[in-house]
Structure 1
Amino acid sequence: MSLATHEFEALQSPRAELEPVRDETLELLRAPTPDQQRILTPEALAFVGELVERFTPDLKRLLAERERRQARYDDGELPGFAPATALVRENDWSVAAIPEEVLDRRTEITGPVTRKMVVNALNSGAQVYMADFEDSTAPTWINIVAGQVNLFDAIRREIDFTSAEGKHYALNDETAVLMVRPRGLHLPERHLRFRGRPVPAALVDFGLYLFHNHGELARRGSRPYFYLPKLQHHTEAEWWNDVISFSERRLGLKPATIRVTILVETLPAVFQMHEILHALRDRALGLNCGRWDYIFSWIKTLRKHPDHVLPDRDAVSMTTPFLRAYSQLLIDTCHRRGAFAMGGMAAQVPIREDEQANAEALARVSADKQREAADGHDGTWVAHPALEPLAREAFDAVIHGDNQLGWRPAIEPISEAMLLAPCSGEITEAGVRRNVDVAVRYLAAWLRGNGCVAIHHLMEDAATAEIARAQLWQWAHHGVTLSNGRAVDHDWLDECFDDARRLLCADANILDIQAINCATALLKGMTRSYELGDFLTLPAYAQLGD
């Protein structure tokens, strides 16, 4: 056993148990602070407990079905359109009418639920702020509960923030519509236990937010909106529909009060878009191109297929044929059903120290947003407020009403082969080292509690770190040869990780060095593993502080 593998296995050891604080149905493993008590009330925890008790068994079954499907893909099967649901794809039906306050969604900003981000995002000028408990939030208990507090205060317009430098942030009179992304179905929340086991994190995020805020939102003329991440199959959408329907009945809300947008960010889901919308048709607003997670899922789903190895991440853009097909199929599907087709993330952040490089980066963003608008998307995502005017300009040039729901693109039918087309391009040593650098930098920051990190002028979150480490595994597993003739093997990748670790540690403080060392050991082990781990954040969660 190598040192890296030994270190990796050591990282998987269970954390020491915390003394539980018992509620009616849940065990809260840390006594709440006074500020947290506003969120972690007995009534709210009882509601979450009901969700956990009712819906965890079915969720476990759905996650087991994911594993069985992946085993078939590993054995050589390819995902595709399901014959059993052909009538859902072929018949005429539509989603429910869109609420007036979200008819125009041409720009949306997304980011973590930190207090400063919440204020700035709501003030950004975007129509929507997607408050993210998932990929851009490291799920420490402090971060999760503080995020709930911040949204609670924002809805009541009681939120502000003063920086260490004394700059004060407060809400404008006009703010974005708030939507919330709970964590994915695969993620646990270890600080809450039901019958001695961690509970589904998605139900914690959804339940706490809904319980505390549905009434206040109604009083202010709005409603609860959610973004649902990482679904793979229409049965998972049906599960969410059951959770939401029960919650509406339990809280005395009218049916379909809660509305959702679904991220299409897994390869299996692209073949299920009609079915997913149909399962949520009474509350679905649309679908979103979660492009970074989609690339990661493409790698993961086809991990044992040597003819589907991707080139350097920089060579895989939305004009790459399989991604272009994905985007066009999403637009056509949504507009056929009266649903929004939302574009993907622009992750660039301003390059203040280099005016020319900044102009070139913004030109690339502008071209990407112009493509999305011309193709028929109804809106798009940005990660930084500075990009909002650029994205808005691209969509203002095309959209002359609220959206493009009435327009369907003139495209050839999108086939399974188009969605699975192998991608050409070089795999370079620079690409390998860039993936190593990004993965270590991001994971080290995540282990320190920061889930949204600016790296080389891109706002990286868990999705892009997943691409980086999955590509490293894929290249080593299939023994690819780089453009310079070097063969990729685990020993050389270990050297690359060690090189990156030394460079990062040279200018780091002691706590950052500890996180860098831990991140490096974890990534080395995951890269050497015979199987590609499903999610980086699952083994890393065991090492995350509270």
Structure 2
Amino acid sequence: MTLSAAKALPAAETSPGIAVTGALAPRFEEILTPEALAFAAALQRRFNPTRKALLERRAARQAAFDAGQLPDFLPETAAVRAADWTIAALPADLLDRRVEITGPVDRKMIVNALNSGAKVFMADFEDASSPTWANMIEGQINLKDRWAGAIDFTDATTGKAYALGPKPAVLIIRPRGWHLPEAHVRIDGEEMSGALFDFALYTFHNAKAALAQGSGPYFYLPKTESHLEARLWNDVFSFSEDALGLAHGTIKATVLIETLPAVFEMDEILFELKDHMAGLNLGRWDYIFSFIKRLGKNPRFLTPDRGRMVMSEAFLRAYCRLLVETCHRRNAFAMGGMAAQIPVKGDPQANAAAFAKVQADKEREAGLGCDGTWVAHPDLVPVARAVFDRLMPNANQRDAARAPANVTRDDLLEMHQGARTEAGLRENIRVGVQYIEAWLRGRGAVPLYNLMEDAATAEISRAQVWQWIHLKAALDDGRTVTGELFQALLDDEMAQLRAVLGAAVYDAGRFPEAIALFADMSLADTFEEFLTLPAYRLIA
């Protein structure tokens, strides 16, 4: 093992073929042990070839979509959809998930989220975290401390003490998606998969401790595009259980349905993971991004302002209804989407309006049959909890009788209606650039305009700008969206932002890099799969 920092692990602890190039900070050796790295390397060597092949399969499917093919239910898996089967039984602490809070893996967030009153905390190594080396390893330290009973701490700046309460939320981990690398670890000369790295370290250090405390190694799986990608996760889980001496089926996963291809393979995804499956989640922001990405070159799917794409209409409504029906048929959980609102300080009227939106959204989800929902801020936990306590008196709704959804492919491709406006274009620019700038500074959960944003919002923003330029979309005032119009609005928005933030704050940030990245991706001839891939090279 080699280390770029002056501090290095003892030579006796080196392992052939494993190179760690990230700097060692205090306590990093507790996570990057020879045994843990050997386990991570075993996963990489066994499963990375399949991971890379599946990413190539994504590219091939995209080429077909670009050529005019539309996604559809798979004829070759019709028997799986038609058969009568259910997922394996779930552990007791996953039977009531009425409110889940999400956030990055910094220490303060973990303690506050576990104490928030939510049933579940999803600790996020993915969209809510900027994957700097320090963030990723410090997050692993914090989660290890949670199971060791050592998560309590005092903030060195404020002097405030943070301590874990008597009834913490159930902990579920979201590793990075299949597409993301971990540039600071190389196995046999090749960058390690970020997904396998995050999963390996957490499982190796915490699976048995979690089980001993009445819980278990639970995961949220992001960005899944197909049942074959779910099969890969299932193989990883089974291999890991054997390697670590865990009973088969100990690891449980909830899959985020946040890509357009995946919604046509939900039965198959549940089936592939049935021994390890807990449920599916409505990852709605990424779903909108995926819809634009996969069908964005087709004029039929030209999107309106993103504020017009609401969950009660068109393809988003169909997606919700089909997910609930599919999950409950298989005895799996159907988890609702994110309420990104945060408290509006100093404006009681605006704050009340924001909370009312959350309440209405959660009433819609509970009415559809969701077994729980997501919030981004602790103050929203009681709002969502009150709705589900009122509308879902039992632990979940898996046994509730409902009329068939009868969702078709055409329903899942029904476009949202509405105008495309200069205000919508400006919002995409303003939010997208500010999020990327914060991400480059190491922050993955960013409060912007009274919403807690993560990478999904930035992805929607730049995807929609790209689509409007590429398809020469008409705004409601008659103008065509061109590269020149985009550049003029970008310049104007950044000038206004610099005036609002102040020259000193603006100039001390990473705005030049963020602006360049957002502009390059918006104006490119071809659509980049994820903005986090080129952005990662600016922080790795």
| TMscore range, shorter length | over 0.9
Task: Look up the SS of the partner of 1:32 in the other structure.
Answer: coil
Q: Match of 2:95, as an amino acid?
A: L
Q: Which position in structure 2 is the counterpart of 1:34?
A: 26
CA drift of 1:166 comes to 2.0
The answer to whether 1:198 aligns with 2:195 is no
Give the distance between the partners of 2:484 and 2:192, measured in 1 at CA: 38
Q: Which position in structure 2 is the counterpart of 1:47?
A: 39
Q: Match of 1:75, as an amino acid?
A: A
The answer to whether 1:74 aligns with 2:66 is yes
CA drift of 1:25 comes to 3.1
Q: Match of 1:302, as an amino acid?
A: L
Q: Which position in structure 2 is the counterpart of 1:532?
A: 527
Q: Is the Cα contact below 8 Å between 2:125 and 2:131 reproduced in 1?
A: yes
User: In 2 relative to 1, CA 42–31 (structure 1 residues): closer, same or farther, beyond 3 Å?
Assistant: farther
The answer to whether 1:57 aligns with 2:49 is yes
Q: Which position in structure 2 is the counterpart of 1:13?
A: none
Q: Is the Cα contact below 8 Å between 2:321 and 2:405 reproduced in 1?
A: no
Choose the corresponding residue for 1:483, options 476, 479, 496.
476
**Structure 1, unaligned runs of 5 or more:** 1-16
Q: Is the Cα contact below 8 Å between 2:254 and 2:281 reproduced in 1?
A: yes
**Structure 2, unaligned runs of 5 or more:** none
The answer to whether 1:297 aligns with 2:297 is no
Choose the corresponding residue for 2:493, options 496, 500, 519.
500
Equivalent residues in 2 for 1:125-164 (5 A)?
125-163=117-155, 164=157
User: In 2 relative to 1, CA 266–277 (structure 1 residues): closer, same or farther, beyond 3 Å?
Assistant: same
Q: Is the Cα contact below 8 Å between 2:17 and 2:189 reproduced in 1?
A: no
CA drift of 1:221 comes to 1.8
Give the distance between the partners of 2:344 and 2:510, measured in 1 at CA: 27
User: In 2 relative to 1, CA 513–479 (structure 1 residues): closer, same or farther, beyond 3 Å?
Assistant: farther
User: In 2 relative to 1, CA 179–81 (structure 1 residues): closer, same or farther, beyond 3 Å?
Assistant: same
CA drift of 1:349 comes to 0.3
Give the distance between the partners of 1:90 and 1:404, measured in 2 at CA: 22
Deviation by residue 1:150-192 (Cα, 9 ceiling, x = unmatched): 1011122211233322222111011000000000000011000
Q: Which position in structure 2 is the counterpart of 1:111?
A: 103
TM-score by length of 2: 0.96
Choose the corresponding residue for 2:300, options 277, 302, 307.
307
Q: Which position in structure 1 is the counterpart of 2:92?
A: 100
Q: Is the Cα contact below 8 Å between 1:230 and 1:264 reproduced in 2?
A: yes
The answer to whether 1:459 aligns with 2:456 is no
Give the distance between the partners of 2:401 and 2:318, measured in 1 at CA: 15
Q: Which position in structure 2 is the counterpart of 1:376?
A: 369
When structure 1 is superposed on structure 2, of 308-317 and 164-173 the one drifting more is 164-173
Give the distance between the partners of 1:328 and 1:295, measured in 2 at CA: 16
CA RMSD after TM alignment: 1.5
Give the distance between the partners of 1:384 and 1:514, measured in 2 at CA: 26
Deviation by residue 1:392-421 (Cα, 9 ceiling, x = unmatched): 111111212211010243144100000001
Q: Which position in structure 2 is the counterpart of 1:218?
A: 211
The answer to whether 1:185 aligns with 2:175 is no
Choose the corresponding residue for 2:511, options 497, 508, 516.
516
Q: Match of 1:70, as an amino acid?
A: Q
Q: Is the Cα contact below 8 Å between 2:4 and 2:23 reproduced in 1?
A: no
User: In 2 relative to 1, CA 31–528 (structure 1 residues): closer, same or farther, beyond 3 Å?
Assistant: closer
Q: Is the Cα contact below 8 Å between 1:331 and 1:408 reproduced in 2?
A: no
Identical aligned pairs, as a percentage?
Answer: 53
Choose the corresponding residue for 1:399, options 392, 413, 419.
392
Task: Look up the SS of the partner of 1:397 in the other structure.
Answer: helix
The answer to whether 1:273 aligns with 2:273 is no
When structure 1 is superposed on structure 2, of 217-226 and 454-463 the one drifting more is 217-226
Q: Which position in structure 1 is the counterpart of 2:237?
A: 244
Q: Match of 2:537, as an amino acid?
A: A
Task: Look up the SS of the partner of 1:350 in the other structure.
Answer: coil
Q: Is the Cα contact below 8 Å between 2:87 and 2:275 reproduced in 1?
A: yes
Choose the corresponding residue for 2:464, options 460, 466, 471.
471
User: In 2 relative to 1, CA 509–190 (structure 1 residues): closer, same or farther, beyond 3 Å?
Assistant: farther
Greater RCO structure (CA 8 Å; 6+ sep): 1
Q: Match of 1:35, as an amino acid?
A: R
When structure 1 is superposed on structure 2, of 461-470 and 477-486 the one drifting more is 477-486
Q: Is the Cα contact below 8 Å between 2:97 and 2:396 reproduced in 1?
A: yes
Give the distance between the partners of 1:270 and 1:311, measured in 2 at CA: 22
Q: Match of 2:453, as an amino acid?
A: E
Q: Which position in structure 1 is the counterpart of 2:343?
A: 350
Task: Look up the SS of the partner of 1:189 in the other structure.
Answer: strand
TM-score by length of 1: 0.95
Task: Look up the SS of the partner of 2:303 in the other structure.
Answer: coil
Task: Look up the SS of the partner of 2:123 in the other structure.
Answer: strand
User: In 2 relative to 1, CA 385–306 (structure 1 residues): closer, same or farther, beyond 3 Å?
Assistant: same
Give the distance between the partners of 1:25 and 1:266, measured in 2 at CA: 35
